[in-house]
Structure 1
Amino acid sequence: MKTALITGATSGIGKATAELLAKQNYRLIICGRNVEVLNQMKTDLSANTEIFTLNFDIREFSQVEKAIHSLPENWKKIDVLVNNAGNAHGMDSLENGNIDDWDAMLDGNVKGILYISKLFIPRMKSEKSGHIVNISSTAARQTYANGVVYCASKKAVDVISEGMRLELTEFGIKVTNLQPGLTETDFSKVRFKGDEERAKMVYQGFQALKPTDIADAISYCVNAPKHVCISDLTIYPSAQAESRTVYKNAGL
């Protein structure tokens, strides 16, 4: 039985991925900051597989290191690492940007991937196996005004994924970089700091992607034959042409 560790597992894409992989008989280490949700997920998913929960903030290396080192020996071999945790805060121009928002995005979207991957790569190399899936965004493909720092953080994920592939392929480790387009999660609610009405407007007038759509893609990638590696995968809803262009009410 393979073991998968998923960061940001308590909502959205991470939660949908955990639910799907549990049905596919993966043992799961689900990570997040919401202890109550983690415990409920453990209860729900334990009907299908073994579940281990870790509560930490991906932005703090000391917390990441302590959590990972706390894993029992029989949970320390990870076959699949899904680096899903991330965030978007605010839509301000650079001159009006909030420094705390910038730190949250760069620490969560960039450093978080580096922190947790650093701790698992050595064992993957020694085992000569493993699969790292990094969740980027179509925002990495086209920068948009008032989202420059978020776009930059996701562009960094692309670069990190490419670098991982260059460093790890010879050791039998697969690396997948996945770029979702507009996906209806709590993403916009967080970005707009709890303004639910503004968040809803982002997804009105067209059919956005669902977290389960991205979970399906992740499942396809990690369950592909050993000789197949999906290196980069971009997924748009059918109404979206690129990061900045969505055709609402177009009958798509």
Structure 2
Amino acid sequence: MITGASSGFGEAMAWRFAEAGCKLVLLARRQDRLESLRDQLIFTYHVPVHTVILDVRNVAEVDLLPGQLPEEFADVDILVNNAGLALGTSSVQDNSIDDAVTMIETNVTSVIAMTKAFVHGMIERNKGHIVNISSIAATESYGGGSVYCATKHALAAFTTATRHDLVGTAIRVTSISPGAAQTEFSLVRFKGDQEKADAVYRGFDPLTAEDIADNVLYACTRPEHVQIADILVLATNQASAKGIARVKEQ
């Protein structure tokens, strides 16, 4: 099961897991893109794909989700909590509370809700893997990202605590923390301003969604006794969240 599957990391993961022969449950808000992806995956890899149109911030619907899945897809053994976003680059005195609430509900609350909803089945079967897509912002805070960084720090704490809670089971818990990766992330952050979004990745080779999907598949395909706890992934010319060596334009 992959949340936020209609674009970016989620879409790339869907392709990688389909290539590996997995049944897929794909969640997103954008029905047209999600259904198009489903059709392409089935045509290309002939794997079963079930789609769910859902805003993960609706925790009441998330709670009901396990009982609403078709029998073929009900036993979710890999949960990828991928849905997440940043909104704006305001300083703390100018933070939009509406944007803050959206980030907290999407990046933190939904992960708690999704995990609670599906971990019960994993515990009963004593089998499962929870993968939380985090960020370099989970370990390094920066100006203009107070709320986003706070959500990813919270996610890091939740992920570690989840691993402690499940240590007596065969369930594995993994955090993947990308650095600068060129997806729709910055376009969302800058609320549709393509020029600002493009400037984030100008002058160096950023990570791609496919790079992160490779790391997720790697973590999920280790032997059962191996648990990849954390992966921090940076572009080659990136040393920190803001520490990026860029080639100056001529």
TM-score where L is the length of structure 2 = 0.96
Select which of 147, 151, 155 maps to 1:157: 155
Q: Deviations over 1:220-241 (max 9, x none)?
A: 0001111111001100001110
Q: 1:208: which partner in 2?
A: 206
Confirm or deny: 8 A CA contact 2:23 2:73 kept in the other structure: no
Select which of 25, 31, 36 maps to 1:40: 36
Q: 1:24: which partner in 2?
A: 20
Q: Deviations over 1:208-229 (max 9, x none)?
A: 0000000000010001111111
Q: 1:168: which partner in 2?
A: 166
Aligned length: 246
How many Å separate the matches in 2 of 1:91 and 1:26?
Answer: 38
Matches within 5 A, 1:68-87: 68-87=66-85
Q: Which amino acid aligns with 1:85?
A: A
How many Å separate the matches in 2 of 1:76 and 1:162?
Answer: 26
Identity across aligned pairs (percent)? Answer: 38
TM-score where L is the length of structure 1 = 0.96
Confirm or deny: 8 A CA contact 2:65 2:117 kept in the other structure: no
Q: 2:244: which partner in 1?
A: 246
Q: Secondary structure at the match of 1:65?
A: helix
Confirm or deny: 8 A CA contact 2:187 2:193 kept in the other structure: yes
Confirm or deny: 8 A CA contact 1:142 1:244 kept in the other structure: no
Q: Which amino acid aligns with 1:219?
A: L
Q: 1:103: which partner in 2?
A: 101
Q: 1:224: which partner in 2?
A: 222
Confirm or deny: 8 A CA contact 1:54 1:67 kept in the other structure: no
Q: Secondary structure at the match of 1:183?
A: coil
Confirm or deny: 8 A CA contact 2:134 2:178 kept in the other structure: yes
- Unaligned runs of 5+ residues in structure 2 are none
Select which of 65, 72, 89 maps to 2:87: 89
Select which of 128, 139, 142 maps to 1:141: 139
Q: Which amino acid aligns with 1:40?
A: S
Cα distance, 1:117 vs structure 2: 0.7
Matches within 5 A, 1:6-25: 6-25=2-21
Q: Which stretch shows the higher mean deviation, 240-249 or 62-71?
A: 62-71
Cα distance, 1:68 vs structure 2: 3.4
- Unaligned runs of 5+ residues in structure 1 are none
Q: 1:185: which partner in 2?
A: 183
Cα distance, 1:137 vs structure 2: 0.2
Confirm or deny: 8 A CA contact 2:25 2:50 kept in the other structure: yes
Q: Secondary structure at the match of 1:101?
A: helix
Q: Which amino acid aligns with 1:107?
A: E
How many Å separate the matches in 2 of 1:189 and 1:45?
Answer: 26
Confirm or deny: 8 A CA contact 1:55 1:67 kept in the other structure: no
Q: Deviations over 1:125-175 (max 9, x none)?
A: 111110000011001111001101000100111111101100112111000
